[in-house]
Structure 1
Amino acid sequence: MKPVISTRPATEADVPVLLQLIRDLADYEKLTDEVVATEDSLRHTLFGSSKYAEALIGSVDDVPAGMAIFFHNYSTFLARPGLYLEDLYVQPAARGCGLGKALITAVAKVAHERGCGRYEWTVLDWNQPAIDFYHRLGAEMKSDWRIMRVTGDALQRMAEI
Structure 2
Amino acid sequence: MVLTIREAARDDAATLLGFIRELAIYEKAEHEVAATVETIGESIFGRNSVTQALICERNGEPVGMAIWFFSYSTWQAKNGLYLEDLYVTPKARGLGAGKAMLKRLAGIALENGCGRFEWSVLDWNEPAIRVYEAIGAEPMNEWIRYRLTGDALKNFAGS
TM-score bracket, normalised by the shorter chain, equals: over 0.9
Alignment of 1:50-61 (within 5 A): 50-61=48-59
Match of 1:154 in 2: 152
Match of 2:35 in 1: 37
- Aligned partner of 1:117 among 107, 115, 118: 115
Query: What TM-score do you get using the length of structure 2 for normalisation?
Result: 0.98
Structure 2 gap ranges (5+) = none
> Could you tell me which residue of structure 1 aligns to residue 60 of structure 2?
62
Q: 3-state DSSP class of the match of 1:6? A: strand
Give the aligned residue type for 2:12. D
Q: Please report how far the alpha carbon of residue 52 of structure 1 lies from its aligned counterpart in structure 2 after TM superposition.
A: 2.4
Inter-partner Cα distance in structure 1 for 2:114 and 2:6: 20
Aligned to 1:147, the other structure's residue is in SS state coil
> What is the CA–CA distance in structure 2 between the aligned matches of 1:44 and 1:113, rounded to whole Å?
26
Any gaps of 5 or more consecutive residues in structure 1?
A: none
Give the structure 1 partner of residue 74 of structure 2. Answer: 76
State the TM-score, normalizing by the size of structure 1.
0.97
Q: Which amino acid aligns with 2:21?
A: R
For residues 140 and 157 of structure 1, what CA distance do their matches in structure 2 show?
36
- Classify the secondary structure of the residue corresponding to 2:108: helix
What is the 5 A alignment of 1:81-160?
A: 81-160=79-158
Kindly report the root-mean-square deviation, in angstroms, between the aligned alpha carbons of the 2 structures.
0.6
CA distance in 2, matches of 1:70, 1:155: 23
For residue 12 of structure 1, the aligned residue among 10, 13, 38 is: 10
* Stretches (4+) displaced over 3 A: none
Identity between Structure 1 and Structure 2 (%): 49
Question: What residue identity is the alignment partner of 2:130?
Answer: D
Give the counterpart letter for 2:114 in structure 1: C
The aligned length equals 159
Structure 1 position 158, deviation (Å): 1.1
